[in-house]
């Protein structure tokens, strides 16, 4: 037989340093205020016990907490509030042992009914768990992930125009071809080249040349669908991936883009600068790889430039056979 006597559970709970324990009655008067709560609130148990909890902590969300406690008392069920939903219940300072940037202690809070010896609910117990360390670790992880994603995005973008770069194009065209074949939808690729761009740089300088590239990118992007992918392929050449578009409609779209660029002008010290573009379009068929589709679009682009520039040409095997 164990002669050590009964365990003093109330004293153990009151002395806890790792979990906050608050017990309130039906009128929200404090019945228990343990050591954790004393240390973090700077209010002694004898100062708080017997008083309404909202008198000491006006920052508490009274409507929310009263509703939670009343629900607990009436329904006799427990409830839980995560720091992710509500960062804190009591506005305590974080532990000095933590070197993070948090202004307050993140907390998980639980509320459950307290019964008397006859099984009647007399109040509610609120437990507070300090989750600041976990919250800060997750925030740091999220920040690191965001930075990694931002860096990855920068690696996929052209610094001047903000368009996707050649590396991204090489990845995307392969994925778009796989999707087109899987879902049996059409796909077109347009290669776009600014006509006589070297003359712009020679006559107006590279600053104006850069402005032309940037203006052209903005103009084209403003006329495309969200599913289209415009990339700076290199220098003054751009690649445009057009999913779910028929050969006829791709020709109509590129002709509209060509006219828009022809009407565009960039201001320079010597007066407005105007440029035109040449375009080559190729449509996907069952036998083409990504590299072959690019070659076909390039050959069509060559025909546009060879035919006088400022025009749109669709790839044709018959025409290529004659020219070669």
**CA-based torsion, 221, 223, 227, 230: positive or negative:** negative
DSSP labels, 29-69:
BEEEE-HHHHHHH---HHHHTTSBHHHH-TTS-HHHHHHHH
Q: Would you tell me how many other CB atoms lie within 10 Å of the CB of residue 166?
A: 13
Catalytic residues: 236
Token pair listed for 222: 């403003």
DSSP conformation class of 156:
T
d(CA 273, CA 153): 32
| Interstrand relation of 277-283 and 237-243 (parallel, antiparallel or unpaired) | unpaired
Token pair listed for 273: 């600068």
Instruction: Give the closest residue to 86 by CA, choosing from 105, 113, 72, 103.
Output: 105
Exposure b/e, 236-262, CB count within 10 A at least 16 = b: bbbbbbbbbbeeeebbebbeebbeebe
d(CA 277, CA 279): 6
d(CA 142, CA 197): 44
* Three-state DSSP class for residue 96: coil
Instruction: Give the closest residue to 37 by CA, choosing from 45, 29, 28, 47.
Output: 45
């Amino acid at each position: 037989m164990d002669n050590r006597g009964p365990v003093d559970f109330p004293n153990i709970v009151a002395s806890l340093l790792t979990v906050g324990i608050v017990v309130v009655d039906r009128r929200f008067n404090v019945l228990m205020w343990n050591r954790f709560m004393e240390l973090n609130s700077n209010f002694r148990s004898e100062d708080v016990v017997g008083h309404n909890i909202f008198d000491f902590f006006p920052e508490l969300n009274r409507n929310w907490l009263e509703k939670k406690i009343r629900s607990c008392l009436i329904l006799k069920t427990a409830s839980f509030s995560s720091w992710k939903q509500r960062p804190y219940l009591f506005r305590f300072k974080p532990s000095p042992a933590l070197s993070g940037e948090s202004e307050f202690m993140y907390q998980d809070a639980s509320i459950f009914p307290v019964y008397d010896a006859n099984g009647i609910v007399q109040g509610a117990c609120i437990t507070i768990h300090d989750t600041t360390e976990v919250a800060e670790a997750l925030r740091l992880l999220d920040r690191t992930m965001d930075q990694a994603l931002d860096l990855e995005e920068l690696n996929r973008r052209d610094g001047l125009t903000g368009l996707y770069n050649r590396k991204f194009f090489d990845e995307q065209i392969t994925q778009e071809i796989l999707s087109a074949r899987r879902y049996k939808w059409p796909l077109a690729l347009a290669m776009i080249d600014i006509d006589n761009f070297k003359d712009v740089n020679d006559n107006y300088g590279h600053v104006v040349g850069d402005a032309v590239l940037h203006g052209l990118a903005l103009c084209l992007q403003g006329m495309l669908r969200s599913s289209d992918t415009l990339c700076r392929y290199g220098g003054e050449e751009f690649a445009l991936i057009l999913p779910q578009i028929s050969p006829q409609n791709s020709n109509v779209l590129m002709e509209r883009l060509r006219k828009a660029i022809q009407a565009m002008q960039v201001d320079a010290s010597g007066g407005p600068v105007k440029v035109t573009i040449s375009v080559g379009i190729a449509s996907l068929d069952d036998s083409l790889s990504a590299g072959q589709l690019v070659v076909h679009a390039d050959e069509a682009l060559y025909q546009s430039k060879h035919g006088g520039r400022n025009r749109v040409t669709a790839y044709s095997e018959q025409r290529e056979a004659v020219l070669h």
